[in-house]
């Protein structure tokens, strides 16, 4: 009888993992663009401090970024872009940022955790080939397209067919759009301020060729609120995601769309980010065994960034 009970218990082992990985590497703090630049090491320092003080640090699975992403970087960026970025003294840290997303995917795909947040720098969603200067001037503070490369990594290493990328950064994820514009295997959804840098992201850009319909831009008005962004998610993301049925969801988690950011004018609150996180988790639960990897993009009011990240992570960890 005891044996029977044991076997029954084993059969009932839940298919969905629990827990949240926090992927990080101390070298992310060694990347400095210039003195006083908003995309600074203080951003990650503020996140780490908040997670420690709020007690969440202990509840997350702390994972150090590891591995080599170059084979996958080459799937997104061409030789010319690589040559320019490789002339940059901090190129190794840019690779490490890419690898952060891949490490998060490894954690989720191995079943060690239900989802992962990757606290990486530099960000990636503006890194488009042809837009960097010969001096490796960061385009929108970005060097390699972290989230796009992570999507390719998931497809190639884990044979996942369909990846949904959700970008709630204040700025349009032009690099992600560029990487997958003709590709129906990646559904890209972005909310942003059309009037802000880089000026792309109009709603009529819907993809091309086989990728037509798989690029969804949902520009929001200046001063956009929780209601504005939640409505865009409900009306434009949810129906498309239901049809697409992703095998994995990635978030380009930019928190410069939060209220009081230095570079943005949206008014998204931490409760707004909690609601967005729940909505995305619901999609992941329904379609892809809750597999969700969130990768940091912008967020330049360091206190605000820390609070929004904490709210996002708490939801990822505790929401059923
Ligand atoms: Zn941004």
Domain ranges of the chain: 18-318
Contact 258, 273 (CB under 8 A): yes
Q: Which helix (H) or strand (E) holds 230?
A: helix 226-232
Residues with CB under 5 Å of ion ligand 1 are 169-171, 254, 256, 298
Instruction: Quick: pLDDT tens for 213-239.
Output: 999 999 999 999 999 999 999 999 999
How close is the Cα of 255 to the center of ligand 1, in Å?
A: 7
How close is the Cα of 259 to the center of ligand 1, in Å?
A: 13
Instruction: Quick: pLDDT tens for 263-320.
Output: 999 999 999 999 999 999 999 999 999 999 999 999 999 999 999 999 999 999 999 8
Q: What is the CATH number of domain 18-318?
A: 3.40.800.20
pLDDT of residue 12: 52
pLDDT of residue 136: 66
Residue 158 neighbours by CB under 8 Å, 6+ apart: 105, 109, 248
CB count, 10 Å around CB of 235? Answer: 11
Q: Vertex 28, ends 162 and 117: CA angle to 5°?
A: 40
How close is the Cα of 193 to the center of ligand 1, in Å?
A: 10
Measured CA to CA, the distance from residue 281 to residue 306 in angstroms comes to: 21
Active site residues: 126
Q: In the chain, which stretches have pLDDT less than 70? A: 1-15, 134-136
How close is the Cα of 17 to the center of ligand 1, in Å?
A: 31
290 burial level (CB within 10 Å; 0-12, 13-18, 19+): buried
Task: Enter the pTM of the model.
Answer: 0.95
How close is the Cα of 30 to the center of ligand 1, in Å?
A: 20
pLDDT of residue 307: 98
């Amino acid at each position: 009888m005891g044996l029977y009970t044991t076997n029954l218990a084993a059969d009932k082992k839940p298919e969905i993992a629990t827990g949240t990985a926090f992927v990080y590497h101390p070298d992310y703090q060694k990347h400095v663009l210039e003195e006083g630049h908003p995309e600074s090491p203080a951003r990650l320092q503020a996140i780490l401090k908040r997670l420690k003080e709020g007690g969440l640090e202990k509840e997350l699975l702390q994972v150090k970024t590891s591995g080599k992403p170059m084979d996958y970087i080459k799937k997104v960026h061409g030789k010319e872009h690589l040559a320019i970025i490789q002339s940059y003294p901090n190129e190794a840290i840019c690779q490490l940022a890419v690898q952060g997303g891949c490490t998060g995917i490894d954690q989720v795909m191995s079943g060690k955790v239900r989802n992962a947040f990757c606290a990486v720098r530099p960000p990636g969603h503006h890194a488009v080939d042809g837009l960097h200067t010969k001096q490796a001037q960061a385009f929108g503070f970005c060097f390699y397209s972290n989230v796009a490369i992570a999507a390719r990594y998931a497809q190639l290493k884990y044979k996942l067919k369909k990846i949904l990328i959700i970008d709630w950064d204040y700025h349009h994820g032009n690099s992600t759009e560029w990487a997958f514009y003709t590709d129906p295997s990646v559904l890209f959804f972005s909310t942003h301020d059309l009037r802000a840098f880089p000026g792309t992201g109009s709603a009529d850009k819907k993809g091309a060729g086989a990728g037509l319909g798989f690029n969804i831009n949902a520009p929001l008005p200046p001063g956009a609120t929780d209601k504005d962004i939640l409505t865009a998610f409900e009306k434009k993301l949810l129906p498309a995601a239901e049809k697409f049925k992703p095998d994995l969801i990635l978030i380009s988690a930019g928190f410069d769309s939060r209220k009081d950011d230095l570079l943005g004018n949206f008014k998204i609150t931490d409760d707004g980010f909690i609601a967005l996180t729940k909505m995305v988790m619901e999609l992941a639960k329904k379609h892809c065994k809750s597999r969700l990897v969130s990768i940091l993009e912008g967020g330049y009011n360091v206190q605000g960034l820390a609070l929004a990240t904490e709210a996002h992570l708490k939801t990822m960890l505790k929401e059923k």
